Structure 1
């Protein structure tokens, strides 16, 4: 049986928001949001579909967001936090 993961599930008014959080300690190779490719998006959509079927929530708007957290070169406090609403 496959396992799926969703980092955050948030209610915002009449919208249910599924959030993928990506953190990178060194951003010189790639930003966190760059790793949310089509395959990852498909897995998140599948997980969201299963969640909605099992939760039996009333019909709501659905949105998929990505939060990208990048740390500075010393690995200290986040240097860059980006929130992409309705990312895919």
Structure 2
């Protein structure tokens, strides 16, 4: 299984995990000129933009460490375009990360609010 296929497997696991928590999947792998968002889900009046990371080992750092300043800015600007295009102006928004360590279907970490405006210069 190549890296992209493995990513898709864990994105599906994350979508299933969040669906069980009452979230509705709006789209997967949303691409713009700014970047890509793995999952966009909705719960009540909140749109949640989700980055999914999977690591087999922690040798090169945990999955959340790969979501750096540059990645966060790409996610933010991609989310802005999604909101505008789909007219979700009256919704709350949140940026989360779902982290998998190992090969299991259950995430080891769900980080809510991984992006704050002041940390990415907006």
- Give the TM-score, by structure 2 length: 0.62
Relative CO higher for 1 or 2, CA cutoff 8 Å, sep ≥ 6? 1
How do residues 62-73 of structure 1 correspond to structure 2 at under 5 angstroms?
62-71=93-102
Q: Is 1:23 aligned to residue 54 of structure 2? A: yes
CA RMSD of aligned residues (A): 2.0
1:35-57 CA distance string (max 9 Å, x none): 10110000000100011111112
Higher Cα Rg: structure 1 or 2?
Answer: 1
Alpha-carbon distance, 1:77 to partner: 3.0
1:3-46 CA distance string (max 9 Å, x none): 52111111111110000001111212210000101100000001
Structure 2 SS opposite 1:87? coil
Q: Is 1:8 aligned to residue 39 of structure 2? A: yes
Count of equivalent residues: 84
- Give the TM-score, by structure 1 length: 0.84
CA distance in 1, matches of 2:92, 2:99: 23
**1:49 corresponding residue in structure 2:** 80
Any gaps of 5 or more consecutive residues in structure 2?
Answer: 1-31, 116-122
CA distance in 2, matches of 1:80, 1:69: 5
Larger strand fraction of residues: 1
Structure 2 SS opposite 1:33? helix
Contact 2:34 / 2:74 at 8 angstroms: preserved in 1?
A: no
CA distance in 2, matches of 1:44, 1:21: 12
Are residues 30 and 78 of structure 1, via their aligned partners in 2, closer, same or farther at CA, if it must alter by over 3 Å? farther
Contact 1:23 / 1:70 at 8 angstroms: preserved in 2?
A: yes
